[in-house]
């Protein structure tokens, strides 16, 4: 694990991902040569969170004449949003059924309904604005390869439905031979199938910034790391934010820094945990295509080891995961913000992946075209953290998406825009109640990430 003395700032430049292989015109954008010295609202971070918040703020008349500054440490969309799996997967049965026993059925159902609504809202946004981002509506097929895990997931699913979680019925369950036939995955024990989508995340986010920059009151500054934030605002309630290029004094600040939040706000140490993930792109040579994959997939080997993949419209496959290769080595991933190089232990994992797991792909010649790493922001209690930062007046946060931000961020940003604009109470934002950041959550010693790690055993037991 990296030393507690080193703060988790993003390195100056991450390795290239497939999504960032042909960056857009705004990648190194600076609206003005020098940094604006003040603004009404400052957003730190130009990923999906920053882009979505900007989009929703600008949709409101009230913000048409307020100055908005976005500061990004590196290139536009160069954090997790520019290196993820491109999978928008509203989870209607798994996380919610797991949360239900701890938080109650209704609170869990809210999350599933929210994720469904999020997918529809993003689809609508893309259709209305004509964002060119390869958005594809499809089915998610979650495949259990372990019989034991299949039974336990199914019984948890049944219990959730019995207790009132009827939203889970949106996921259709199949078992045994049907599972393998339907999924095409060798050895499938059971599958859950439900509506999902995939997208080119960088293109979507770039489009959101492009559309926002039409407004004169928006100023985006890339390559401008925020270096520190004081413990308190000034006497007027404004925050004096230090960057490598001077200071900006802001009436309101939104932390859209996800995995990197603790570098600036120490109270997020071990609350939003940098967690290194890996992804790859697999291609097939020649004109003879292996069986068409129309669905997206998760391949679950056990409770903690799973991969996810999306078939792209160009015939390639983006696959992420490879946890079994490195998860037992805490230093490889926990608190680690190094996205300048691949996780060495995971490097060869995706070679032959399609041949190993998918029927009809044995002679496809499919090979790994590229691999990359990215830093997720895992929340210590598994839930995103949205709303006011406790103890910091006029400061807000949206982060801690725990590797699952794509079906949550767009509407979370819409909800947060209401809080920053009108002081709307969180309970009226439409964001699930469990996502609200609170002092109690920040003070809790819970750390589910280390709990999972502790259950794996040490490397020597491998």
Ligand X SMILES: Cc1cc2nc3c(=O)[nH]c(=O)nc-3n(C[C@H](O)[C@H](O)[C@H](O)COP(=O)(O)OP(=O)(O)OC[C@H]3O[C@@H](n4cnc5c(N)ncnc54)[C@H](O)[C@@H]3O)c2cc1C
Where do contacts with ligand X occur on this chain (CB under 6 A)?
9-10, 44-50, 71-74, 78-81, 83-87, 225-226, 256-260, 263-264, 277-279, 308, 320, 374-376, 399, 401, 403-407, 409
Q: How far apart are CA 451 and CA 223, in angstroms?
A: 36
Tokens of 380: 């210590």
Q: Which helix (H) or strand (E) holds 362?
A: none
Least gap, CB of 10 to ligand X (angstroms):
4
Tokens of 234: 């000034």
3-state secondary structure of 277: strand
Q: Which is nearer to ligand X, 48 or 160 (CB)?
A: 48
Least gap, CB of 177 to ligand X (angstroms):
29
Least gap, CB of 273 to ligand X (angstroms):
13
Q: Which is nearer to ligand X, 15 or 161 (CB)?
A: 15
Q: Which is nearer to ligand X, 144 or 221 (CB)?
A: 221
Least gap, CB of 356 to ligand X (angstroms):
20
Q: Which is nearer to ligand X, 12 or 59 (CB)?
A: 12
Least gap, CB of 362 to ligand X (angstroms):
26
Q: Which is nearer to ligand X, 180 or 415 (CB)?
A: 415
Q: How far apart are CA 358 and CA 180, in angstroms?
A: 10
Least gap, CB of 213 to ligand X (angstroms):
17
* Residue in this structure with the two tokens 């990648």, named with its chain if needed: 27
Q: Given CA atoms 25, 28, 30, 36 in this order, what sign does their dihedral have?
A: positive
Tokens of 147: 């019989």
Q: Which is nearer to ligand X, 177 or 314 (CB)?
A: 314
Q: Which is nearer to ligand X, 45 or 184 (CB)?
A: 45
Q: How far apart are CA 308 and CA 278, in angstroms?
A: 11
Least gap, CB of 377 to ligand X (angstroms):
6
Q: Which is nearer to ligand X, 87 or 392 (CB)?
A: 87
* Residue in this structure with the two tokens 């609202």, named with its chain if needed: 41
Least gap, CB of 321 to ligand X (angstroms):
9
Least gap, CB of 125 to ligand X (angstroms):
16
Q: How far apart are CA 455 and CA 15, in angstroms?
A: 31
Q: How far apart are CA 21 and CA 15, in angstroms?
A: 10
Least gap, CB of 87 to ligand X (angstroms):
3
Helix 105-129 to helix 201-212 angle, to the nearest 10 degrees? Answer: 70
Q: How far apart are CA 402 and CA 462, in angstroms?
A: 26
Q: Which is nearer to ligand X, 184 or 277 (CB)?
A: 277
Burial track 105-127 (b if 16+ CB lie within 10 A, e otherwise):
beebbbbbbbbbebbeebeebbe
Q: How far apart are CA 244 and CA 227, in angstroms?
A: 7
Q: Which is nearer to ligand X, 47 or 184 (CB)?
A: 47
Least gap, CB of 15 to ligand X (angstroms):
11
Q: Which is nearer to ligand X, 81 or 189 (CB)?
A: 81
Q: Classify residue 1 by burial, with Cβ atoms within 10 Å: 0-12, 13-18, 19+.
A: exposed
Tokens of 337: 């913000």
Q: How far apart are CA 159 and CA 165, in angstroms?
A: 9
Least gap, CB of 37 to ligand X (angstroms):
17
CA 356 to chain centre: 28
Q: Which is nearer to ligand X, 66 or 198 (CB)?
A: 198
Q: How far apart are CA 407 and CA 435, in angstroms?
A: 14
Alpha helices in 70-146 (DSSP H): 95-103, 105-129
Burial track 144-157 (b if 16+ CB lie within 10 A, e otherwise):
bbbeebbeebbebb
Q: What is the DSSP letter of 316?
A: -
């Amino acid at each position: 694990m990296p030393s507690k003395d080193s703060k988790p700032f993003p390195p100056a430049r991450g390795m290239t991902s497939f999504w960032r292989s042909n960056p857009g015109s705004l990648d190194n954008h600076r609206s003005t040569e020098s940094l604006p010295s003040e603004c009404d609202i400052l957003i730190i971070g130009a990923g999906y969170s920053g882009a979505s918040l900007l989009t929703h703020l600008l949709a409101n008349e009230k913000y048409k004449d307020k100055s908005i500054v976005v500061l990004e440490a590196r290139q536009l969309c160069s954090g997790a949003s520019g290196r993820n799996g491109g999978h928008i997967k509203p989870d209607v049965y798994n996380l919610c059924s797991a949360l239900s026993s701890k938080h109650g059925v209704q609170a869990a159902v809210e999350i599933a309904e929210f994720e469904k609504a999020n997918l529809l809202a993003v689809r609508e946004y893309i259709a209305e604005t004509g964002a060119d981002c390869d958005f594809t509506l499809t089915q998610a097929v979650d495949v259990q390869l372990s019989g034991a895990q299949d039974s336990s997931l199914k019984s948890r699913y049944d219990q959730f439905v019995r207790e009132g979680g009827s939203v889970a019925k949106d996921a259709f369950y199949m078992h045994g031979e049907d599972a393998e036939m339907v999924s095409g995955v060798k050895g499938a024990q059971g599958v859950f199938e439900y509506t999902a989508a995939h997208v080119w995340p960088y293109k979507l986010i770039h489009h959101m910034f492009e559309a926002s920059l039409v407004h004169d009151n928006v100023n985006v500054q890339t390559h401008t790391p925020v270096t520190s934030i004081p413990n308190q605002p000034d006497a007027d309630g404004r925050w004096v934010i230090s960057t490598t290029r001077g200071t900006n004094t802001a009436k309101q600040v939104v932390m859209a820094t996800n995995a990197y939040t603790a570098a600036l706000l120490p109270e997020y140490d071990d609350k939003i945990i940098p967690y290194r993930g890996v992804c790859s792109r697999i291609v097939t040579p020649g004109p003879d295509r292996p069986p068409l994959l129309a669905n997206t997939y998760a391949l679950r080997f056990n409770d903690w080891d799973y991969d996810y993949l999306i078939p792209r419209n160009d015939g390639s496959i983006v696959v992420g995961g490879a946890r079994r290769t490195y998860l037992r080595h805490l230093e490889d991933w926990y608190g680690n913000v190094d996205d300048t190089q691949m996780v060495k232990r995971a490097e060869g994992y995706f070679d032959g992946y399609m041949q190993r797991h998918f029927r009809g792909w044995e002679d496809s010649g499919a090979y790994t075209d590229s691999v990359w790493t990215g830093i997720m922001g895992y929340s210590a209690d598994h839930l995103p953290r949205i709303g006011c930062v406790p103890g910091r007046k006029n400061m807000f946060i949206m982060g801690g998406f725990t590797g699952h931000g794509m079906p949550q961020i767009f509407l979370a940003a819409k909800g947060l825009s209401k809080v920053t604009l009108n002081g709307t109470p969180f309970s009226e934002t439409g964001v699930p109640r469990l996502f609200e950041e609170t002092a109690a959550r920040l003070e809790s010693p819970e750390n589910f990430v280390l709990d999972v790690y502790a259950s794996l055993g040490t490397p020597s037991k491998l």
